[in-house]
Amino acid sequence: MKKDEISEVRLFFYEIVKESFQDEPDAALIDIFNQLVDNLKKNYEVKDEKVEFIIESFQTVLQNLDLQKIKEEYNILFVDPFSNYLIHKNASFYIENKNFGNTLVKIRDFIWRLELFKSEDYFEPEDSVPFISDVMIYLIDNEYAINVQYDFFTKFIAPLMEGLCTELKNSEMANFYACVGLLMEFFIEMERNYLCDAIINA
Amino acid sequence: MADYKLKVPNNLLLISDNTKKLRKYEEILGGIYNIYTIFYSDIFSKEFFASKNIKISGRFPAFNVNFEFLDVIKFDICSYCGKCYKECPEKCISVNLDINFDKCTLCEKCEIVCPEKCIGLRSLKTSEITTAFILTDIDELIDNYKLPGIYKFEDYENVLSLTGEFLISESISHNDNICQYSGKRDFGCKRCIDSCERYALYVEDKKIKIDHLLCVSCGKCVSVCPTGAMQSMTVSDVDFIDSFKENNFKNKVVVLGNHEEIRGFKWKIDDEYTYNYQFIESEPKYFNLLNYLFLFSCGASKLIILDERLCNSNQILFANRLIEYLFNYSDFIVFRDDGYYGPNPLSEFYADYSFDTRRKKLASIIGFLFEKSPVRKVLIDEEYLNIFGEVELDELKCSLCLACVNHCKIGALSANQMNYSLNHNPSYCIQCGICEDVCPENAIKIRKGLLLSEEFFENKELFRDEPIVCPECKKEFASKKAFETVKRKLIKSGYFESKGKYLNYCEECRVIKILELNA
């Protein structure tokens, strides 16, 4: 794969992660997942149990759940303050076991240095999954040095997404999002390998 | 003391002379903290309070910050008519009503032309902020207020680590009744406060207080306290002495450390030699001269402390030196097993397990060791410990007012009411210096250093006076020198005629006389 193609794949994944956690899912997002599953089925040449499991899981879930059910799942997992199944989406929680911690300050410091600012209509903190996915999209889009991307990934994205994936996979209320967790887990592993190789070859 | 919860509020004040920095930290810490900002400048800012006159009082987590700030334009009554903008000869007023004071000549034309009278170029307002933390880059503030809770911007992680709810478990206590710090005079022994690197000890309401949130139980304050006012909640002096009642460790090597350290030590020694050792699971960081000399006087031949952080402890250096001087027995306290276990040089061991105060117990043990030593005079002038010395009195100046005795809680100075004498026991004196400070006649001087001799342990009469007798009831009621001193002072201030007429009468008879005179 060429570098541009790799960047495109990375951007696509960060984009769907961002979209999955930013707001309740809509038909467009579900379509993207359907297409992704189809593409993986058709085009993923290497025999891989993990990928097969992800495809199977997504197929089962998408066949059995309509959009309304997926929206309800989103609200139970991430929105309803009285839900007993709430899952945190912030890096501080998975790194320091508390929200609004030092990790949030460090991410704010990082984006301050990039001269990026959170728009006022965006309510999630800067260490939330959608926001840090967006930061990574910005870094890839603007071809920031690979060590900057690697640092941001290892310090913030990887610990957050690993923790979040585990929570999603273990949640008894997560079906669609358990599949998203599986996909994210697969993607993080690929991203980690890519960034490590890129750092070595830089 | 039971554990309890303490919540540190998330209030944060930023003080900087750099507006960009204020904006940055407002941005990155906003939402996590309730943020207040002060622009450290005498140039008016529309965005921040501008002030260089900042006074900080209180302590973490409740600092009170009083400051004066320039309140040049009253935006609530400004009609934005623009007359000031047009009138300004220096063009230093922007359309946003920011004033560039670098250009402003303070000509006051803007003030005069303002129809709303909302401009006051020298108008100052005062305000107060209560905050748990302060982040600043102003050296003057950092230097003047070296307090926990006030940090440089780059150390903001300290703020994060101290915010939230904490479970407090008190590990040390302070007993004001035997403390030789005088809150009234803000003078005396502050060794505990000086030793605390975390600023967890402080004076409030004229007493020494402990901030248990900041305390990390390093034990330094307990160790340096010569009176025993500072105590560990886990190993108090009384418990320590009491625990040896049943223990027989004569000529044994005492090994002192925590559970893990002792286990590690045991693993390294041959099983056949373990009978040589007496293991004490404790926290050596709290130990002081009393503990070390007590173990020696009770018969230990060696003390191995399994905490090398204490190797520069003055308490240990002093204990070793004293034992060496008295018995020519070196390195009683060591930090690793050196394999040398000579018998304890004492022919008879200390067996008094009673306890009054740390200093009195220490005096008793040193007295015992001195009695058993062949040496009759020992001078330790190395300044390992500054807790020994003597009080010297100028008899001609002393009026026996006994202010010194009233401040000497440890009992180094005492008064004998039967014979009107002032007495001094040097073995109890911790060199706090309060007696010297409090003496109105400037009659007391402190002589530092430990000179061990018979006299060191004796109650020495510093001064004796004759009593004055009431001419009415014949009761002895004061010393002659005290009477003369008061009389002299009344004469000097011109009050003797009015107030000193019945000065030679006792208190009761004086009142009766005054009432008779007025009747």
Chain A interface test: which of B160, B161, B163, B165 (most A C-beta within 10 Å): B160
pLDDT tens digits along A2-44: 778 899 999 999 999 999 999 999 999 999 999 999 888 887 7
> What residue spans of A23-157 are helical by DSSP H?
27-43, 49-64, 67-74, 91-96, 102-113, 129-141, 146-152
Cβ burial, residue A104 (10 Å; 0-12/13-18/19+): buried
The packing angle between helices A129-141 and A3-22, to 10°, is 160
**Would you call A117 and B164 a contact, using CB atoms and an 8 Å cutoff?**
no
Query: Which residue, A157, A185, A181, A186, is CA-closest to A169?
Result: A181
Instruction: Average the pLDDT over each of A72-81, A109-118, A134-143 and give the range with the smallest value.
Output: A109-118
What's the mean pLDDT when you consider all of chain A?
92
Taking 90 as the threshold, does the pLDDT of residue B33 lie above it?
yes
Taking 70 as the threshold, does the pLDDT of residue B197 lie above it?
yes
Which chain A residues are closer than 8 Å to B157 by Cβ? Answer: 102
Rounded to whole angstroms, the Cα distance separating B428 from B327 reads: 23
Domain residue spans of chain A: 3-201
Residues B351 and B275 grouped into a single domain: yes
Hey, is the C-beta of B23 within 8 angstroms of any chain A C-beta? no
pLDDT tens digits along B10-27: 999 999 999 999 999 999
Task: Quickly list DSSP for B341-387.
Answer: -PPPS-SS-------S-HHHHHHHHHHHHHHH-S-S-EEE-STT---
pLDDT of residue A5: 87
**Would you call B31 and A117 a contact, using CB atoms and an 8 Å cutoff?**
no
Residues B141 and B18 grouped into a single domain: yes
Residue B54 C-alpha, separation from nearest chain A C-alpha, in angstroms = 27
Q: Which residues pair with B231 in a beta bridge?
A: B173
Residues B20 and B153 grouped into a single domain: yes
| % of chain B at pLDDT higher than 70 | 99
pLDDT tens digits along A135-171: 999 999 999 999 999 999 999 999 999 999 999 999 9
Residues B141 and B38 grouped into a single domain: yes
Look at residues B444, B464, B484 and tell me which one is the last residue of a structural domain: B464
From the list A105, A112, A117, the residue facing B32 with the nearest CB is A105
Read off the CATH number of the domain in which B198 is found.
Answer: 3.30.70.20
CA atoms within 13 A on the CB side of B102: 0
pLDDT of residue A49: 85
Q: Could you list the residue range(s) of the whole structural domain that residue B153 is in? A: 4-164
Structurally, chain B folds into a number of domains equal to 5
Residue B23 C-alpha, separation from nearest chain A C-alpha, in angstroms = 10
Query: Which residue, B401, B415, B411, is CA-closest to B481?
Result: B401
pLDDT tens digits along B88-131: 999 988 888 888 877 888 899 999 999 999 999 888 889 999 99
Residues B479 and B460 grouped into a single domain: no
Instruction: Average the pLDDT over each of B8-22, B241-255, B400-414 and give the range with the smallest value.
Output: B241-255
Which pLDDT band, with edges at 50, 70 and 90, does B378 fall under? confident
pLDDT of residue B31: 86
pLDDT tens digits along B447-495: 988 889 999 999 999 999 988 899 999 988 888 888 888 888 888 888 8
Residue B69 C-alpha, separation from nearest chain A C-alpha, in angstroms = 29
DSSP 3-state of B311: coil
Residues B363 and B404 grouped into a single domain: no
Residues B412 and B373 grouped into a single domain: no
Which pLDDT band, with edges at 50, 70 and 90, does B66 fall under? very high
Which residue of chain B is at minimal alpha-carbon distance from A99? B32
What's the CATH fold of domain A3-201? TorD-like (1.10.3480)
Residues B16 and B105 grouped into a single domain: yes
Q: Which residues contact B258 (CB under 8 A, 6 or more apart)?
A: B281, B282, B283, B306
Residues B431 and B475 grouped into a single domain: no
pLDDT of residue A1: 67
Give, in order, the Cα–Cα distances in Å from A151 to each of A123, A147, B482. 25, 6, 79
Which pLDDT band, with edges at 50, 70 and 90, does A46 fall under? low
Which chain B residues are closer than 8 Å to A105 by Cβ? Answer: 28-29, 32, 156, 160
